[in-house]
Amino acid sequence: MNWDLIVMSIMYAFAGIMHFIKPKAYIKVMPRYLKARKSLVLLSGVFEIALGVGLLFDATRSISALGIILMLIVFLLVHFNMLRGKKYAVGVPRWVLILRIPLQFVLIWWAYLYI
């Protein structure tokens, strides 16, 4: 198994776990038009953990990579929402928010390598 696959798996599993440890941080950055934001945060945490672990097994690697790509595309909503202004950025510097957009596409490409 490639070291980068293990890193990607750990990264997504850790991010998913953080949804349960610090849900309020994730709720704050979600667009207000989304309903049941806490449930969505917890659900996305479950998916991140499952998809991260799924990368480790040959039988589930491709579907997990595809799920990660779809998840990252959906998460662009949050990234663009945070660019709307200081109120939505929750203290994250604008340059970091801007840098995160191309980073999402790098992460999408990385997951695509395992489809």
Asked whether 19 and 44 are in contact (CB, 8 A), the reply is yes
Number of domains in the chain: 1
> What is the mean pLDDT of the segment spanning 87-91?
90
Q: Which domain holds residue 66?
A: 3-112
Its pTM stands at 0.92
- Is the confidence at residue 98, as pLDDT, over 90? yes
- Is the confidence at residue 78, as pLDDT, over 90? yes
Q: What does the alpha-carbon distance between residue 65 and residue 7 come to, in Å, rounded to a whole number?
A: 13
| CA count, 13 A, side-chain hemisphere, 80 | 6
Asked whether 108 and 72 are in contact (CB, 8 A), the reply is yes
